[in-house]
Amino acid sequence: MKGLVFTEFIEMVETDFGFEVADRIIENADTSSKGVFTGVGTYPSRDMAALLTQLQMEINQSIPELLRYFGKHLFHRFSKLYEHLLTDVKDTFDLLQRIENFIHVEVKKLYPDARLPAIDAHMISHDTMELMYRSRRKLAHLAHGLIQGCAAYFGEVMEIEMENMLEDASHVRFIIRKV
């Protein structure tokens, strides 16, 4: 997982939960880099799991809740950092349909070692999208938060349902309905 994701996560914890919480989770998490993350580095995704486990103990929220919270925040940050990828995108559904063949393709050009999920998004009626998420990293709750962040960015209200297609959560189906 790219260092950028870690630095964004740590900055969010510092701002929203305080520097002391951030210091403690970094200190107590058993991470490969001993708590040192740089934007240009690459770290195992289990390091993110280790940080989330510590944060869960600090602030008494579940890991799925924390991943959704982070996902929302991360989309907001992506919309600033990668503004050029969003210039002619008109709404949430439009953006979600561009992840696989455009947005994550550009990400891969920028960071050839990026580990990205497979996203298959298509409309199933005029106001409803089916989005399939597949990844060995099993970060569907992060995807959920990113989708929520995307809807917030476009000022849209979406109902989002999530269903595991495989028990280990490596394949998850989202039904996203504009209300």
Footprint of ligand HEM (CB under 6 A): 1-2, 5, 78, 82, 85-86, 96, 99, 103-104, 107, 114-117, 119, 135, 137, 139, 142-143, 146-147, 150
Q: What are phi and psi of 132, to 5 degrees?
A: -100, 130
Chain centroid offset of residue 156 CA:
19
Instruction: Kindly tell me which of 55 and 139 has the beta carbon lying closer to ligand HEM.
Output: 139
DSSP notation for 59-89: HT--HHHHHHHHHHHHHHHHHHHTGGGSTT-
Q: Could you tell me the smallest distance in angstroms from the CB atom of residue 150 to ligand HEM?
A: 5
Q: Could you tell me the smallest distance in angstroms from the CB atom of residue 47 to ligand HEM?
A: 11
Instruction: Kindly tell me which of 142 and 162 has the beta carbon lying closer to ligand HEM.
Output: 142
Q: Which residue has its beta carbon closest to ligand HEM?
A: 135
> At CA 176, angle to CA 170 and CA 177, rounded to 5?
165
CB atoms within 10 A of CB 152: 16
Instruction: Kindly tell me which of 54 and 79 has the beta carbon lying closer to ligand HEM.
Output: 79
Q: Could you tell me the smallest distance in angstroms from the CB atom of residue 5 to ligand HEM?
A: 5
Sheet with 118-125, side-by-side order of all strands: 118-125, 128-134, 171-178, 158-164
Q: Could you tell me the smallest distance in angstroms from the CB atom of residue 32 to ligand HEM?
A: 14
Instruction: Kindly tell me which of 150 and 162 has the beta carbon lying closer to ligand HEM.
Output: 150
Report the alpha-carbon distance of residue 64 to residue 114 in Å, rounded: 22
Instruction: Kindly tell me which of 21 and 53 has the beta carbon lying closer to ligand HEM.
Output: 53
